[in-house]
Amino acid sequence: MDTKSFIQKRFSEFYREKASDIEAPRLIEQREFGFLLFKGNVMVRHKSFGTVEALRSFVKQIVPAHAYYSTAYYEAPEEKMENKGWLGADLYFDIDADHIPTECGKIHDRWKCKTCGFTGKGVTPETCPMCGGKTFENKTWPCEVCLESAKSEMVKLVDILVEEFGFSPDEVEVSFSGHRGYHVHVENEVVKELDSVARKEIVDYITGVGLEAALHGVGTRSHVTSSGSSGRGFDNIGWRGRISRGAYKVLSAATEEDLKNLGLKEKAVEKILSNKELILKTWERSGPWQPIGGLSKDALQAIINRAVQNESAKIDTVVTTDIHRLIRLPNSLHGKTGWLKVVFPTSEIERFDPLKNAVAFKKGEAKVYVDEAPRFRLGEELFGPFKHEKVELPMAAAVFLLCKGAAELVE
Ligand SMILES: [Zn+2]
Ligand SMILES: [Zn+2]
């Protein structure tokens, strides 16, 4: 049996037993469904289902590598795009390690330009630095450190949605994508009819795009007199408060190297470090708004810019502005890992362990030839690292390596 048929067989067994865990999205009859088949990588789109039973039996029957549904609601979801009759869409966010630069990403992630063949490590660029090409092949790894950093981006995002946009925690649903990230889903009548432009405004707010620190009073005293609200601003809701808290965090943790990395000259770094306690004390009283002893306006600006970078949430902006987006179906399998997309309450974010809670295959073993794989954990067990070797593994680990294309089945 070849590797692909083997994976499909495991997926098929899984769905025979667990397709009943697939739940209907709200207003199922208004949603479009799409499925990527194992065979020929064919996408079956424009499907619609009146009931969750019909959806489940379809999944059992075709055994897709990936299963999706639309964030959008349509009058006629099975029609061609132009005839569907768009009625609105949920607000959806995708946080993926692909968009978060991590140290380990430079080791385990690689990309190759499809136009000129130029290769690199870490986050895939938008355009190839050699030829300007825009399409890449990439090899990425869902490593634990990257998953943790995606999770902390999600925590920031949920916080912004609840504290600053005012959504109730019950309307904000979070999930693990089944690969390298997390999704945040808002179902609410107010957001339903927002168009792409309005959604782009939300994206810009969350990512801190176009945020001018000077307009928040940095380097001037004008905000104190014009807004009438003086003080440090730590408790302010919105970016003003986030800048205050973020700048304080940046400076309190800053080492000589960190400050140099902000582009500050040696002299400025020295001055800041020797005045650090004083600066922080002043900020505790009045916030990081005016340059004070040892801290020039430029240095302040650099710290604030870093604070904005740290406090914004790194979302995939395209997903949120696309009002026809297909998103992964909860409790379905991800074809690149054999892991589940899992929805969980926001109160569980801290405790959620994707490498345990999303494991689907819990029975049996399989023998595989691993080309190359870094050390990884599934549940409580550690595997690898492997390089050019034949190993017998528990089914979840074997299916994962096969799905990632890191191993092949041994007959
Ligand atoms: Zn290129
Ligand atoms: Zn990593």
Residues 259, 193 share a domain: no
Residue 206 forms part of a structural domain: no
- 86-89 vs 172-176, strand pairing mode: unpaired
Exposed/middle/buried for 230, CB within 10 Å: 0-12, 13-18, 19+? middle
Residue 296 forms part of a structural domain: yes
Tokens of 359: 């494991």
CB 239 within 8 A of CB 245: no
Give residue for tokens 């999303």.
Answer: 358
Residue 207 forms part of a structural domain: no
Residues 125, 50 share a domain: no
Residues 304, 393 share a domain: no
Ligand closest to 118 (CA) is 1
Residues 237, 386 share a domain: no
Residues 191, 320 share a domain: yes
Residues 179, 258 share a domain: no
For the chain, the straight-line distance linking the first and the last C-alpha, in angstroms and rounded, comes to: 7
Q: What is the pLDDT of residue 292?
A: 81
Residues 242, 162 share a domain: no
Q: What is the pLDDT of residue 257?
A: 95
Residues 177, 73 share a domain: yes
Range of the domain at 76: 3-96+149-201+316-357
Q: How far is the CA of 100 from the centre of ligand 2 (A)?
A: 10
CB 305 within 8 A of CB 233: no
Cα 160 to Cα 157, 182, 192, 241, 247: the distances in Å are: 5, 16, 19, 12, 17
CB 158 within 8 A of CB 95: no
Catalytic hit among 94, 195, 258, 322: 94
Question: Is 258 assigned a catalytic role?
Answer: no
* Domain harbouring 17, CATH code: 3.90.920.10
Q: How far is the CA of 312 from the centre of ligand 2 (A)?
A: 20
Residue 208 forms part of a structural domain: no
Q: What is the pLDDT of residue 365?
A: 97
Residues 89, 8 share a domain: yes
Is the CA virtual torsion 319, 323, 325, 328 positive or negative? positive
Q: How far is the CA of 234 from the centre of ligand 2 (A)?
A: 32
Q: How far is the CA of 389 from the centre of ligand 2 (A)?
A: 23
CB 283 within 8 A of CB 249: no
Q: Which residues lie across from 66 on neighbouring strands?
A: 36
Residue 281 forms part of a structural domain: yes
Total domains in the chain come to 4
Ligand closest to 148 (CA) is 2
Q: What is the pLDDT of residue 224?
A: 46
Q: How far is the CA of 38 from the centre of ligand 1 (A)?
A: 29
State phi, psi for 186 to the nearest 5 degrees.
Answer: -115, 120
Q: How far is the CA of 275 from the centre of ligand 1 (A)?
A: 47
Exposed/middle/buried for 306, CB within 10 Å: 0-12, 13-18, 19+? buried
Ligand closest to 103 (CA) is 2
Question: Is 316 assigned a catalytic role?
Answer: yes
Ligand closest to 100 (CA) is 2
Contacts of 351 (CB under 8 A, 6+ apart): none
Residue 369 forms part of a structural domain: yes
Ligand closest to 376 (CA) is 2
Residues 305, 218 share a domain: yes
Last residue of a domain, one of 280, 311, 342: 311
Q: How far is the CA of 101 from the centre of ligand 1 (A)?
A: 21
Q: How far is the CA of 178 from the centre of ligand 2 (A)?
A: 15
Residue 268 forms part of a structural domain: yes
Residue 118 forms part of a structural domain: yes
Is the CA virtual torsion 329, 334, 338, 339 positive or negative? negative
Q: What is the pLDDT of residue 222?
A: 45
Q: How far is the CA of 100 from the centre of ligand 1 (A)?
A: 22
Positions of the chain with pLDDT under 50 = 222-229
Give residue for tokens 């991800």.
Answer: 334
Residues 401, 333 share a domain: no
Residues 172, 304 share a domain: no
Q: What is the SS3 assignment for the chain?
A: CCHHHHHHHHHHHHHHHHHHHCCCCCCHHHCCEEEECCHHHCEEEEECCCCHHHHHHHHHHHCCCEEEEECEEECCCCCCHHHCCEEEECEEEEEEHHHCCCCCHHHHCEEEECCCCCEEECCCCCCCCCCCCCCEEEECCCCHHHHHHHHHHHHHHHHHHHHHCCCCCCCEEEEECCCCEEEEEECCHHHHCCCHHHHHHHHHHHHCCCCCHHHHCCCCCHHHHHHCCCCCCCCCCCHHHHHHHHHHHHHHHCCHHHHHHCCCCHHHHHHHHHHHHHHHHHHHHHCCCCCCCCCCHHHHHHHHHHHHHHHCCCCCHHHHHCCCCEEECCCCECCCCCEECEEECHHHCCCCCHHHHCECCCCCEEEEEEEEECCEEECCEEECCEEEEEEEEEHHHHHHHHHCCCEEECC
Closest CA to 298 of 261, 257, 265, 254: 265
Ligand closest to 136 (CA) is 1
Catalytic hit among 159, 204, 316, 322: 316
Q: What is the pLDDT of residue 136?
A: 93
Q: How far is the CA of 124 from the centre of ligand 1 (A)?
A: 12
